[in-house]
Amino acid sequence: MAQFSFGYDEQGGTRTVGTVDDDRKREREQMVREQIEARGVRGERLLQALREVPRHRFLPPGSEAARHAYEDRALPIRARQTISQPYIVARMTELLELNGDEKVLEVGAGSGYQTAILSRLCREVVAVERLPELAAAARRVLEELGVENVRLVTGDGSEGWPADAPYDAALAAAVAPAVPPALLRQLRPGGRLVMPVGAENGPQKLLRVHVSAEGGAATVEEFGEVAFVPMVGASGFGFPADLGDLDV
């Protein structure tokens, strides 16, 4: 992770004289303790990733949102989208049950924060983001943080990303009216998909769908009510009626 220590030359040597900030590590430790462990999320690799990935870096620098980066809520990013609440990122990642060897598809990369967490827990992430401006910002931060096992592409992920299929696991951070069949088709036998399904501005449920080891019938589990922005695309919702897309 990025370190902000600085030093100065003194009699031929460099001595570290302090840190500009501690990269807000203490806030993250508190976030994990109070928002995530306290709600029952387990898995040391996941908790460690959440302690280490600097969530504030995925918010616009100097913004009000960046100041509130470690609070228990979703926050605005750009283009009227949101960075998911830390607990939701943790819970969805936990439900994927990653062991480190997977290729994971992520739909709706947004700020790239969830992408960075996934990148610590699997072999490779293919992340799709519909809005080029968000994709560019996310790519920049991931690069600055030295994340190398992510390919972040721009496009409609409601149809998955067939070019890199099959995936061992998939996660979508935007709500669709139903589970997009293409996402299931792009999973390997035994693969799983975690995503919200429901209404655009109404009740939504977090689902986990398993594709059987033979590649056949899926099993569906429900994990409570959630609130996500819409997945916009062929297997999602239509384009915003107010042409809000133009303000990106």
Rounded to a whole number of angstroms, the minimum distance from the CB of residue 175 to ligand SAH is: 9
Residue 86 binds ligand SAH, judged by CB under 6 A: no
Q: Which of 47, 53, 65, 83 binds ligand SAH (CB under 6 A)?
A: 83
Q: For residues 87-122, b (16+ Cβ closer than 10 Å) or e, as one string?
A: bbbbbbbbbbebeeebbbbbbbbbbbbbbbbbbbbb
227, 141, 169, 33 alpha-carbon torsion, rounded to 10°: -60
Residue 150 binds ligand SAH, judged by CB under 6 A: no
Rounded to a whole number of angstroms, the minimum distance from the CB of residue 217 to ligand SAH is: 26
Would you name the residues annotated as active-site residues? Answer: 84
Q: For residues 207-245, b (16+ Cβ closer than 10 Å) or e, as one string?
A: bbbbbeeeeeebeeeeeeebbbbbbbbebbbeeeeeeee
Contact 116, 91 (CB under 8 A): no
Residue 231 binds ligand SAH, judged by CB under 6 A: yes
Q: Binding to ligand SAH (CB under 6 A): which residues in 153-212?
A: 156-158, 173-174
Q: Which is nearer to ligand SAH, 6 or 68 (CB)?
A: 68
Which pair of tokens denotes residue 235? 């297997």
Q: Which of 82, 149, 177, 188 binds ligand SAH (CB under 6 A)?
A: 82
Residues that bind ligand SAH (CB under 6 A): 81-84, 107-108, 110-111, 113-114, 128-131, 134, 156-158, 173-174, 229, 231-233, 236
